[in-house]
Chains A and B, each alone.
Chain A
């Protein structure tokens, strides 16, 4: 109420017909906007902003399921997680996971977008096919790929044609488990990223490609010198969304390795759920806060840098 009256001064003059065109809203339409924004704003404040802010004190608190007293314990939660090796391992695993998922997803979806760029019947069919994995939950995707790469699964069978008796546990080996799990994450989301890239490609004027062709640019040069720079907005969007999604990874890990072998695929959120399961809510919060810090430290400068590249 206070906000609506302070931000939407009711001007009782005339001229409401001419004034608005440039400067935005007509004064006629300007009163009581607050009540349109308020319900959505309340939901965002109570269920996103308040928990987000509370995460900071909780990460430095002794909140647990074993006592009713919540006291401030300084950096103890982080120190304990660090000394036990949980935090440094989870940070490393999460960053590697995110980089692999982001790379695989964007390489595959740019290639698919280039192949399926024109809108025709066959391409629509393939776009539809490649979109199917998006519909499955990351959890389900994890189960499906756990079967595919299991020692009796199709991947080993195919390799077995060339190298008889091939029997490799992709998820049982620390070196390949993390890569495989991150790959599943990329697989699950490729369909949407492809559509975003197709939209980006279709916004590039044909005449620019024709001009580059006439100037003697080959396909490779046309892609790197013309298409790729003009694809920048789509590129920014996909890189950032895949990165943020992958930094919060949990679901795929839960259904493929559960964090193993050992702790080689324990992401930050996986570690947070484990601490939560032990009723250590304070340490779980500290791991949760680490995800936020990672996103801020990695994603925000990345957005700024990619945006600058868009303008240039």
Chain B
């Protein structure tokens, strides 16, 4: 181990001194991440006229309170937040729970029909969902345009990725634990809840991260499935808020809305970034 690190350290020194390497990375990070985020934050603090210049300078006149309260009063923010939570929370819980139940079944059976179900479910990772016929299905179920219908569509189309990830994970687990529990007389349901779910925690975390990123940020399906502004999720409220001014965007308000729309995800990420990055790095390739 130490030989390996010593060798790799030597090679790195021969190739490129650390300071030079990190200066280059930092130099790249400035326009790639720094400027976009700074431009957004600093201009959300400015008045409309000043933000129109889109400069990176600090505001001459601060308008933080005005801008962010405008997002709440004119930007339909609270409705959007409520609807986004109403979609994201049930979707994540249902997909992780039902997905792991199904994945357990797919991983522990060899029958043809189960393999077929597994392939059909996994196919939804590759093939883009057909949104417009979904509206027909939802109309038939009398859920057209509702938050519930949208959430159900999210569950059905995101299930594949989660089932695929978890099935791969279960296959790598030894069978002995489940057998021992069964021999001890635990019911299948009991084994699922008190043995499998805890064992699946790492892959459930990865699945949850991927779900929250795609569900919270979805715009395309929302545009087609959610009709009224009362049912709009955050990306939809952002879009109609930004489109409200026809001539040019009110950048201070658009950026304030973008910040508030992304904030729940960014805060969660900052709290759990180590686990998120490690989870995605280790779990990303299992498939």
Contacts and interface: CB of A to CB of B under 8 A. Distances in A.
Interface in A209-242: 210, 213, 219, 233-234, 237, 240
Contact of A7 (B24, B109, B254, B284): B109
B219 A251 contact: yes
Interface string A270-298: 00110010000100110011011001100
B239 A147 contact: no
A140 B126 CA distance: 25
- Output the residue of B114, B128, B192, B273 with the most chain A CB within 10 A: B128
B11 A213 contact: yes
Nearest to A108: B32
Given A24-B110, A115-B25, A126-B29, A36 B132 contact: no
A274 to B, nearest CB: 11
User: Most chain-B Cβ atoms within 10 A of its Cβ — which of A41, A55, A140?
Assistant: A140
Interface residues of A, number: 105
Interface in B12-33: 15, 21-22, 24-25, 29, 32-33
B134 to A, nearest CB: 4
A41 B242 contact: no
Given A33-B109, A126-B29, A139 B235 contact: yes
Given A118-B8, A206-B4, A244 B128 contact: yes
User: Chain B interface secondary structure, helix, strand, loop or mixed?
Assistant: helix
Nearest to B273: A128
A6 B113 CA distance: 9
Contacts of B15: 219
B21 A52 contact: no
B160 interface: yes
Contacts, number: 292
B54 A153 contact: yes
A135 B120 contact: no
Interface in A124-146: 124, 126-140, 143-146
Interface string A25-52: 1101110111011011101111111111
A106 to B, nearest CB: 15
B284 A196 contact: yes
Interface in B60-97: 94
Given A7-B109, A251-B219, A40 B25 contact: no
A266 interface: no
A259 interface: no
Interface centre among B53, B160, B220 (most CB of A within 10 A): B220
Contact of B110 (A25, A29, A219): A25
B36 A37 contact: no
B133 A58 contact: yes
